[in-house]
Amino acid sequence: MNIPNDPAILVSFLNTQLRDFYPSLEEFCKVNDCDMDAISQKLAAIGYTYDAAQNRFR
């Protein structure tokens, strides 16, 4: 799966995927062969962090 490169679009894309299809960011990354740390760092650069309890970036 191609994930968006733009951080603002990426956060929206990921939150939708996490809400609709995946129980965690770890599971999303496993299934889609993504680097969880790279995604987290990219979104942290625009002020978002992953909230595991809510399974979304905030």
pLDDT at position 1: 79
Report domain extents, the chain. Answer: 7-57
Contact between 46 and 7 under an 8 Å Cβ cutoff? The reply is yes
Contact between 34 and 28 under an 8 Å Cβ cutoff? The reply is yes
| pLDDT tens for each residue of 6-55 | 999 999 999 999 999 999 999 999 999 999 999 999 999 999 999 999 99
Contact between 33 and 2 under an 8 Å Cβ cutoff? The reply is no
- Pair of tokens at residue 45: 């650069």
